[in-house]
Chain A
Amino acid sequence: MKKVCVAVSGINAVDNPGPGIGVIRSLKEDSVLEIEAIGLAYDAMEPGIYMDWLVDRVFILPYPSGDKEGFLNRLLYVKKAANIDIVIPTLDAEMPVYIKAADYLQSMGIKTFLPTKSQFELRGKTKLTEVANKIDLKIPETRIVTSYEDLVKALNDIGLPVMVKGLYYKAYRAYTYQEATGYFNKIVAEWGYPVIIQQVVSGEEMNVIGVGDGTGGSLGLVAIKKLWITSLGKIWTGVTVKNEALLNAASNFVKEFKWRGAFELECIVSKDDIYLIEINPRFPAWVYFATGVGINLPARLLKAALGLPVEGKNEYSAGKLYVRYTYDIVTDMSIFQSIVTKGEC
């Protein structure tokens, strides 16, 4: 088979890891695909840059908060320099630019496999109710606040503790009014209004990841439960589960919204109720877990994007364990030097 050159972002395998390394590792383990992996990084310190056994070449991109034209010009430069066939973005902040430019990129010979704009918008925390209703999930009591008065009222209505969240990013648990006010101010300062105040639901934290084919079909689903998380809330150990209600909800999600591309549903299972907490329109950082239990979602996504046949196996065993660990690389400064002076290596 012809070698496929894939650009993947999010190779920041740090304490708040991006999904890129898990995606690349999955792609490279596929038995059919032959992969050249191009890492797209935003900082010379992203560890993926130095993981040469997985990442073949690296290019620095300008931040997606800059102008769109500059961002796309840089991608076209990467296309020219490394001849990439497809790009798999994995970070929240860059999804809008890729989604908006998907047709343009396609015309320039760069494939993508992404949700549509309206699918992408479903992740907005103000839209969660709509999604949850359609797929028979519950959502925790939620208030959208834009002032200190609103905040106090929301805290009185919901009762402590609460989750204080930005519209797309950041989530903090607050046990007191003071804490809630502090997080509220922090989110407003960084991301602006509105802020979301949400009831804390107790139960088992479970997540499902999958890939939708864009016509209502699912290309594979895997559900897990987080066993141990870091102080940043990132999974460190987890276990696969087969919660039928949860998997059905995910497959209804794909069917109902004709979801295209990768996604993750974050849920809390409390007795017979399942609460939808968040929709992520991309792979999570633990995506390799699915690959490890036989459902290689990144490879399936890539095959779907390239129009190749996708394997139909959807069985995985419950009770498989996921363990993250740390590892060290010692290298000299040449790669670093090249990245900071040339923006690539």
Chain B
Amino acid sequence: MDKLARLAISEEGFIFDPVSGNSFTTNKTGLFNLKALKEGKGEEEIVQALTEKYETTKEGAEKDVTDFIEQLRYYRLI
């Protein structure tokens, strides 16, 4: 999670990676996931937290978190 820790993340969903120089945008649930990952939470915990805060099912959240992490991996952010 070192890579995540170095990111500058704004409340508006703007992300800057000072090492690669890349910028990203994310939405509110993406921001939620990023913060949770930064805090070191695991996938299951995040899914649980998502379903508590948002109107979504466990199955839906699971799929989405997997895809989100896949995106982070693709962007080499984790």
Residues of chain A touching chain B, judged by Cβ–Cβ distance below 8 Å, are 333, 336-338, 340-342
> Which residues of the other chain, B, contact A342 by a CB distance below 8 angstroms?
12
B12 / chain A contacts, CB cutoff of 8 Å: 337-338, 341-342
> A341, B13: Cβ atoms under 8 Å?
yes
Q: Note all chain A residues with C-beta closer than 8 A to B23.
A: 333, 336, 340
Tell me the bound Cα distance from A338 to B23 in angstroms.
Answer: 13
A12 to B26, CA, bound (A): 26
In the complex, which residues 3-21 of chain B have their Cβ closer than 8 Å to any Cβ of chain A? 10, 12-14, 16
Q: CB-nearest residue of chain A relative to B13? A: A341
CA distance A337 to B10 in the complex (A): 9
Q: Total interface residues on B, using CB and 8 Å?
A: 7
13 CB-based A-B contacts, threshold 8 Å: A333-B14, A333-B16, A333-B23, A336-B23, A337-B10, A337-B14, A340-B14, A340-B23, A340-B25, A341-B10, A341-B12, A341-B13, A341-B14
CB distance from B67 to the nearest CB of A (A): 22
| B7 CB, min distance to chain A CBs, angstroms | 13
Residue of B nearest to A44 (CB): B23
Question: Are A341 and B25 neighbours in the complex by a CB distance under 8 Å?
Answer: yes
Q: How far is A338 from B13 in the complex, measured between Cα atoms in Å?
A: 10
Q: Which residue of A lies closest to B15 (CB)?
A: A337
- When distances are taken between beta carbons in the complex, the residues of chain B under 8 Å from A337 are 10, 12, 14
CA distance A341 to B26 in the complex (A): 9
Measured CB to CB, the closest approach of chain B to A128, in angstroms, equals 44
Select the residue from B13, B14, B16, B25 with max chain A CB neighbours within 10 A. Answer: B14
Alpha-carbon distance A333/B25, docked complex (angstroms) = 13
Distance to closest chain B CB from A340 (angstroms) = 6
A-chain residues with CB within 8 Å of residue B10 when the two chains form the complex: 337, 341
Docked pose: A333 CA to B17 CA in angstroms:
12
When distances are taken between beta carbons in the complex, the residues of chain A under 8 Å from B13 are 341
By beta carbon, the residue of chain A nearest B12 is: A341
B16: A residues at CB distance < 8 A: 333
Residue of B nearest to A337 (CB): B14
Chain B residue with the shortest CB-CB distance to A338: B12
Residues of B within 8 A of A338 (CB): 12
Chain A residue with minimal CB distance to B11? A341
CB contacts (< 8 Å) of B14 on chain A: these are 333, 337, 340-341
B30 to chain A, nearest CB (A): 12
- For A340, list chain B residues within 8 Å (CB): 14, 23, 25
Instruction: Give bound CA distance, A341 to B16, whole Å.
Output: 13
Contact residues in B for A336 (Cβ distance below 8 Å): 23
> How far does the Cβ of B43 sit from chain A's closest Cβ, in whole Å?
27
The complex places the Cα of A73 from the Cα of B25 at a distance, in Å, of: 24
Minimal Cβ-Cβ distance residue in B for A340:
B25
